[in-house]
Structure 1
Amino acid sequence: MVMNIEVEVLSTSTIKPSSPTPSHLRFYQLSFIDQLSIHIYNNLVIFFPPKAIDSNQTLDVVEISHKLKTSLSHVLTQYYPLAGRIKDNLFLTCNDEGIPYLEAQVNCKLSDILPNLQPSELPKFVPFELDGRVDLLLGVQLNIFKCGGIAIGFCITHKIGDALSALMFTKCWAAATRGDHDEDIPWPIYESSTLFPPKDMSKIDMPTIDHIPTKNIVSKRFLFESSKIEALRAKYEEKGNNFKKVIRPSRVEALSAFISSRYMAATKEVFGPKKRRYSIAQAFNLRTRIDPPTPENSFGNFSRQFIRCLDSLGGKEESYSYLVREMRHLMKCGNEKEYAKNIQMGIDQCLIFNKEHAEEIAKGELIDLKFTSICRFPLYDHFDFGWGQPMWIGANPLPCKNLIIFVDTKSGDGIEAYIDFEEEDMAKFERDEEFVSFISSTK
């Protein structure tokens, strides 16, 4: 039986930095990648059981809410841009206007919805629609379940920060709520506009949320256990030169290629191999790829996609081995320092690709599959707010067609894949027998 989840907002307050932002920090310059990014929201929902794991004490929701608001106000003194507003795709005014903090009541127990919560339900637990129709940069919603459990949902605009920036913000907020000393908290470093200087965007045809296909998009969550992932990696490992070196795809390479191949196979009768082509894109964290590298707590957009077309001749696009090689080549190109150096000079491969293939894309003749991964970031360890690890963390996908996000399971050895496809494509994809044979569950 499907649970009808209702979330009622009980109160809304505004949280401002606990101390005013100094006058010399009132203007925050956007970087080139910030300028290229669209104002949609990265978001997470963090679920906690009704009893603290460490002490087995029932959570005091009133006390928790007070701690969350107090620590959030403190954290905003360091993350002061998030309490400001965007101006003309050039800069932020860091005017301490603050961020909304909502408290909401949920009409069920956590046990009623976990572990089978559908991604389509996650937006109920965050304060904004994800399509960026409001000018706020950050919002928080504390959801209270009938059992006493809670879920902390938040949204951070992609306009000024990538997924890692959102995760680092949450890590700092959790640490402050726990009561960690300031010197032990990895506060943000602001250097993105220096490393990626802003450009005159007047001659660049910038996409907006209205240009992103969001209608009839279905979001699903699929679980791949470690044994299935390792089976894929082993099955499609390749021998190197003179058969002396074995090349085994990474977990992300293997799953990306597998999902691509099954999507193409499931939808080929609609598209036809001679009528449409495919491209694959992978988001890369540029912090480790610029010279010299910058720390992971560098705040801003430090990620961009590298994208390449697949060869559509001879049905190669349906070959898993071919796709593994193509994904590996894409990874190699995105990992090269030259790629990051070009972006620092204002040369963006993704922007150039979309311009060169604009007609194909507009006609629907080029189908893109966009992959991003936040695997290996220890979410469950970092998001302890003082009452133990979360039960589960839901990473609601951005409202974007053909987007696939990989997240580690709580155990760390499996991967949850959040997939956004058009409704008709998703129905065919879920019926693909080979795909179904590799997933442990569909949620």
Structure 2
Amino acid sequence: MSSSSSSSKVTLKSCYSVRPMEPTWYGRLPLSEWDQIGNITHVSTIYFYRPPQKWLTSPNKIATTLKDSLSKVLVPFYPLAGRLQWKESGRFDVECNSLGAQFIEAESSLTLSELGDFSPSCEYYPYLIPHIDYTRPIEDIPLVIVQLTNFKCGGASISLLISHAVADGPSALHFTSEWARLARGEPVRTMPYFDINVLSSRSNVNVNEWEFNEPPLLLGNSNNVEERKKKTTVAMLKVSKTQVEKLRKTANESWEKPSNGRGYTRYETLTGHVWRSASKARGHANDQQTSLGVCVDWRNRVEPNLPKGYFGNGTLDVVATSLAGDLISKPLGYASSRIREAIEKVNDEYVRMGIEYFKKQEDLTKFQDLHAKMGSDDKGPFYGNPNLGVVSWLTLPIYGLDFGWGKEVYMGPGTHDSDGDSLLLPSYDDDGSLLVAICLQEVHMDAFKRHFYQDIV
């Protein structure tokens, strides 16, 4: 089916600005250094629902519930109703101006069963998730964009786009869970905390010890312009509980024990396996340098811990590195040990050193991924071939978002189209199995799947 006929199955009906229900604070809210580097575009998730018949007595009931409760939740979460504003040298603030979130209503002539397993490779996804044009001025782009799509069968999807510049995964989930609570008529459970002064840097940290290395290039290449252009595809791979346990056993028995005696985690094991499989599938030479971006939540790794409800980015990326030849020839535990080593660097001193390091940078542009989305060929870090980034949602409360008509039947990442982007999710059935959502160049995907499953056996 061509994309034009896919788009004709989804019709946009209306678009509103949803503003906070009551007056909120106006002014410029400063953002931390961690908010202004790495991924500063929007992160998308999508939820599919089969509401009970009583919810469908009035076709507008779902939309009205969502808009009213969104207007309420934007009172305590008022920065999300604002807009980013550039300052000098690639830095920005949030202008808290109550311009509101964008709410789009759409209708589909499809039924939910026609979407199959709801995987992100589904041809209809691009029409269920709003597209953002990042060449527009940043102050014109809402920080929260919602699309409600009603299906012919009475089902619905809600796609959510939240700017990573104001919220990482834990903060975005904090917002959505409070929004759902208000929709169900319950009060806010945890108020958001916006004061970035809890992150005061320390004058005595030595920023010279902080490292920021550009991800390595493919051997023989002087830039990654060509790699960035290659066509990508997405796969969702399921790993059963037995397979996860088998991988952990292999990792823990095949390499010396981690320094603190704690065995390798599900994340360290499965991510090591993804990294090795990708190097094999991409046909890397033995002396090819490859790096793996790991996102670490440091809320409880600083002294004192961040306050409950801290809203913003309490995560940072660290990088594990290896030669492809070592990854492939050494056992799985070696890859896991490289990942463990990167994660263990993140402590109070490391986080504060990073704050000082980025404060001293004249321009933050080269640390931001926005520029790739604006069509720039070579700005911002690139974690495609020969590199990867693996983000864990394994411990996040991603399932069970109930706005009053029951929990979703499926939740997953929205668009996911950059080479090397991957995500680990717990299985929806809560049976101990895990899902790997991975985007690779089309030419590498079949080989990746083959190595991924063969090597578990």
SS in structure 2 of the partner of residue 78 of structure 1: coil
Shift of 1:248: 3.3
Q: Deviations over 1:385-428 (max 9, x none)?
A: 11222101021255433121111122232222111212222243
Shift, 1:144, TM fit = 0.5
Letter paired with 1:124: Y
Alignment of 1:178-327 (within 5 A): 178-182=184-188, 185-192=189-196, 194-195=198-199, 213=228, 216-238=231-253, 248-268=263-283, 271-274=284-287, 276-295=288-307, 297-312=309-324, 319-327=331-339
- Say which SS state the counterpart of residue 299 (structure 2) adopts: helix
Q: Aligned partners of 1:145, 1:296: CA distance in 2, in Å?
A: 38
Match of 2:28 in 1: 27
Describe the shift of the 1:332–1:59 C-alpha distance in structure 2 as closer, same or farther (beyond 3 A).
farther
Deviations 1:249-286 (A, max 9, x none): 21111110111111111222xx3223x21112210112
Aligned counterpart, 1:367:
386
Among candidates 97, 108, 130, match of residue 110 of structure 2: 108
Aligned partners of 1:131 and 1:399 also within 8 Å: no
Could you say which residue in structure 2 is the equivalent of 1:156? 162
Equivalents in 2 of 1:241, 1:303: separation in Å? 28
Count the aligned residue pairs: 410
SS across alignment from 1:378:
coil
Q: Structure 1 residue 138 and structure 2 residue 144: aligned?
A: yes
Counterpart amino acid of residue 299 in structure 2:
R
Q: Report SS of the residue matched to 1:367.
A: coil
Q: Which amino acid aligns with 2:22?
A: S
Report the CA distance shift for 1:171/1:123 in structure 2 as closer, same or farther (over 3 A). farther
- Kindly provide the CA deviation profile for residues 6-45 of structure 1, in whole angstroms up to 9, marking residues without a partner as x: 321111111011112234xx21112111222443111111
Residue-by-residue CA offset, 1:277-299 (whole Å, 9 max, x unaligned):
11122101121111111145211
Question: Structure 1 residue runs of 4+, over 6 Å off?
Answer: 204-207, 239-243, 361-366
Structure 2 unaligned residues grouped into runs of 5+ = 202-211, 216-224, 368-377
Partners of 1:22 and 1:242 lie apart in 2 by 52
Deviations 1:344-379 (A, max 9, x none): 43369xx99x99xxx9x9999982211111112222
What is the Cα deviation at residue 303 of structure 1?
A: 1.0
User: Within 2, Cα distance between the matches of 1:170 and 1:362?
Assistant: 29
With over 3 angstroms needed to count, the CA separation of the structure-2 counterparts of 1:318 and 1:264, relative to structure 1, is farther
Aligned mates of 1:393, 1:152 — CA distance in 2? 10
Contact 1:85–1:137 under 8 Å retained in 2: yes
Q: Is residue 386 of structure 1 aligned with residue 397 of structure 2?
A: no
**Distance between the aligned counterparts of 1:60 and 1:127, measured in 2?**
25
SS in 2 for 1:237: helix
Q: 1:384 to 1:315 in 2, by over 3 A?
A: closer
Q: What root-mean-square deviation, in Å, do the aligned CA atoms of Structure 1 and Structure 2 show?
A: 3.7
Match of 2:72?
Answer: 74
TM-score scaled to structure 2, two decimals? Answer: 0.79
Matching residue's letter, 1:139: I
Cα–Cα, structure 1 residues 49 and 314, in superposed 2: closer, same or farther, change >3 Å?
A: closer
Amino acid at match of 1:92: V
CA distance in 1, matches of 2:384, 2:145: 38
Structure with the higher fraction of residues in helix conformation = 1
**Cα shift readout 1:82-119 (whole Å, capped 9, x = no counterpart):** 11111113312111111211111122111121425334
Q: Which residue in the other structure is 2:60 paired with?
A: 62
2:423 is the counterpart of 1:405: yes
Task: Please state whether the residue corresponding to 2:282 is helix, strand or coil.
Answer: helix
In structure 2, the partner of 1:343 is 354
C-alpha distance after superposition, 1:140-161 (max 9, x if no partner):
1111111101111110111222
Letter in 1 for 2:437: Y
Q: 1:15 aligns with which of 18, 42, 51?
A: 18
- Give the structure 1 partner of residue 448 of structure 2: 429
Q: Find 1:396's aligned residue among 389, 414, 430.
A: 414
CA deviation profile, 1:212-235 (whole Å, cap 9, x unmatched): 947523222212121211111122
Match of 2:41? 40
Q: Which amino acid aligns with 1:122?
A: Y
Kept after mapping to 1: 8 A contact 2:126/2:415 = no
Q: 1:436 to 1:47 in 2, by over 3 A?
A: farther
- Aligned counterpart, 2:218: none
Describe how 1:166-177 pairs up with structure 2 within 5 A. 166-177=172-183
One-letter amino acid matched to 1:14: S
Q: Which residue of 2 aligns with 1:200?
A: none
Question: How far apart are the structure 2 equivalents of 1:296 and 1:79?
Answer: 15
Contact 1:397 1:418 in 2 (8 A): no
Which runs of structure 2 are paired with 1:82-101 in the superposition (5 Å)? 82-88=80-86, 89-101=91-103
1:414 aligns with: 433
Distance change >3 Å, CA 172–CA 214, structure 1 → 2: farther
Farther off after superposition, 152-161 or 303-312: 303-312
Q: Which stretch shifts more, 166-175 or 312-321? A: 312-321
Letter in 2 for 1:11: S
Match of 1:49 in 2: 50
Deviates more, 1:144-153 or 1:83-92: 83-92
The yes-or-no answer on 1:127 pairing with 2:118 is no
Asked if structure 2 preserves the Cα contact closer than 8 Å seen for 1:162 and 1:303, the reply is yes
Question: SS of the counterpart of 1:390?
Answer: coil
2: CA distance, partners of 1:206 / 1:272: 20
What is the alpha-carbon distance in structure 1 between the residues aligned to residue 383 and residue 118 of structure 2?
34
In structure 1, the gaps of 5 or more residues are 198-203
Give distance in 2, aligned partners of 1:131 and 1:414: 36
Mark the CA change 1:399 to 1:196 in structure 2 (over 3 Å): closer, same or farther.
Answer: farther
Q: Taking structure 1 as the reference length, what is the TM-score of the superposition?
A: 0.81
